Amino acid sequence: MSVFKGIEPMVVDEEQAARILGISRRMVFEFRTKGELQHVKFGRLIRYRVSDIQAFLERKLIGNDTPANGRRG
């Protein structure tokens, strides 16, 4: 996905974000509109920082000690 050899992008578009996450563009849009996935705007262009995508994944991570439904015990 690198534009320049050895340099990784700091931001990606919606299609690239969807591919990184393995979800549809529609789901990326929904996460964005719910405020779950941060984004940046350059005029009318919407981009996602790779670091925000990684943070989003960390928040969605379900650990072995936390039940999937979010309730404990």
Residue found by looking up tokens 């050899």 in the block? 5
Is the pLDDT at 66 greater than 60? The verdict is: no
* Mean pLDDT of the residues in the chain: 87
Contact partners, residue 18, CB within 8 Å, separation at least 6: 24, 25, 27, 28
CA 41, 47, 50, 54 torsion-angle sign: positive
Mean per-residue pLDDT for 2-11?
A: 78
Least confident residue range of 5-9, 14-18, 51-55, 62-66: 62-66
> How confident is the model over 8-41, as pLDDT tens digits?
889 999 999 999 999 999 999 999 999 999 999 9
Taking the C-alpha atoms of residue 70 and residue 28, their distance in angstroms, rounded to an integer, is: 22
